[in-house]
Structure 1
Amino acid sequence: MLPSAMRFLGNLLLGRDPDQRLHTLLTLVGWTTCVLMSVAHYAEAVLGLADEANTSWLAVFSTIGALLFYLLMRSGVAPQWVTHARLSWVQASWATVAICWAYALSGPARGAAVLLLVLLPLFGMFSLTPRQTWRMAVAAYLAVALVMAWKAQVEPERYDPRIELLHLVFAGIVLSVSSVLATLIGRLKRQSEQERSKLACALERIEALATHDELTGLTNRRAAGERLRRAAREPGASMCVAMIDLDRFKQVNDSRGHAVGDEVLRHFARVARQTVRAEDMLARWGGEEFLLLMPATTPEQALTVLARLRERLRAAPLACAGAGYTVTFSAGVAPCGGAGEADLDAAIARADDAMYRAKREGRDRTLLQPVAA
Structure 2
Amino acid sequence: MLTSASVPLGDLLLGRDPQRRLQTLLTLVGWATCIVMSLAHHAAATLGLADEAHTMRLAVFSLIGATLFYLLMRSGVGPRLASDAVLSMLQGAWAVAAISWAYAVSGPARGAAVLLLVLMPLFGMFTLTPRQTRLMTACSFLSIALVMAWKASAEPDRYDPRVELMHLLFAAIVLAVSSVLATLIGRLKRRSQQERAELAAALERIQRLATQDDLTGLTNRRAAGERLRRAAREPGAPLCVAMIDLDRFKQVNDSRGHAAGDEVLRHFAQLARQTVRAEDMLARWGGEEFLLLMPATTPEQALAVLARLRERLRAAPLTVVGPDYTVSFSAGVASCGGAGEADLDAAIARADEAMYRAKREGRDRALLQPVPA
TM-score, normalisation: structure 2: 0.92
8 Å Cα contact 1:238/1:338 also seen in 2: yes
Q: Tell which deviates more after alignment, 130-139 or 69-78.
A: 69-78
8 Å Cα contact 1:26/1:122 also seen in 2: no
Structure 1 counterpart of 2:258, one-letter code: H
Q: Encode CA deviations 1:204-225: one digit per residue, 9 max, x unaligned.
A: 1111111111222211000011
Q: Tell which deviates more after alignment, 25-34 or 256-265.
A: 256-265
Q: Encode CA deviations 1:32-61: one digit per residue, 9 max, x unaligned.
A: 211111111111011111112221222222
Give the corresponding residue for 1:15.
Answer: 15
Give the corresponding residue for 1:36.
Answer: 36
Q: Encode CA deviations 1:294-333: one digit per residue, 9 max, x unaligned.
A: 2233333322221111111112222343442221101112
Give the corresponding residue for 2:246.
Answer: 246
What is the CA-CA distance between 1:98 and the residue it aligns to?
A: 1.0
Q: Encode CA deviations 1:87-123: one digit per residue, 9 max, x unaligned.
A: 1011111111111111111000001001101111122
Q: Does 1:159 align with 2:168?
A: no
Give the corresponding residue for 1:168.
Answer: 168
What is the CA-CA distance between 1:127 and the residue it aligns to?
A: 1.1
Give the corresponding residue for 1:331.
Answer: 331
Query: In 2, Cα distance between the equivalents of 1:61 and 1:233?
Result: 67
What is the CA-CA distance between 1:188 and the residue it aligns to?
A: 1.0
Q: Which blocks of at least 5 consecutive residues in structure 2 are unaligned?
A: 1-6
SS of 1:242's equivalent? strand
Structure 1 counterpart of 2:57, one-letter code: W
Query: In 1, Cα distance between the equivalents of 2:342 and 2:70?
Result: 59
Counterparts of residues 1-373 of structure 1 (less than 5 Å): 8-373=8-373
Query: In 1, Cα distance between the equivalents of 2:93 and 2:128?
Result: 14
SS of 1:330's equivalent? strand
Structure 1 counterpart of 2:167, one-letter code: H
Query: In 2, Cα distance between the equivalents of 1:57 and 1:339?
Result: 78
Q: Encode CA deviations 1:246-287: one digit per residue, 9 max, x unaligned.
A: 112223333333333233222211222222222221101112
Query: In 1, Cα distance between the equivalents of 2:237 and 2:11?
Result: 42
Give the corresponding residue for 2:4.
Answer: none
Query: In 2, Cα distance between the equivalents of 1:296 and 1:72?
Result: 52
Q: Aligned residues, how many?
A: 367
What is the CA-CA distance between 1:372 and the residue it aligns to?
A: 4.0
Query: In 2, Cα distance between the equivalents of 1:251 and 1:245?
Result: 14
Structure 2 counterpart of 1:251, one-letter code: Q
Query: In 1, Cα distance between the equivalents of 2:279 and 2:252?
Result: 32
Query: In 2, Cα distance between the equivalents of 1:199 and 1:308?
Result: 42
Structure 2 counterpart of 1:128, one-letter code: L
Give the corresponding residue for 1:4.
Answer: none
SS of 1:293's equivalent? strand
Query: In 1, Cα distance between the equivalents of 2:73 and 2:266?
Result: 50
SS of 1:319's equivalent? coil
Query: In 1, Cα distance between the equivalents of 2:224 and 2:371?
Result: 22
What is the CA-CA distance between 1:345 and the residue it aligns to?
A: 2.2
Q: Which blocks of at least 5 consecutive residues in structure 1 are unaligned?
A: 1-6
Query: In 2, Cα distance between the equivalents of 1:336 and 1:120?
Result: 70
Query: In 2, Cα distance between the equivalents of 1:356 and 1:364?
Result: 11
SS of 2:243's equivalent? strand
Query: In 1, Cα distance between the equivalents of 2:17 and 2:237?
Result: 39
What is the CA-CA distance between 1:8 and the residue it aligns to?
A: 4.0
Identical-pair percentage: 79
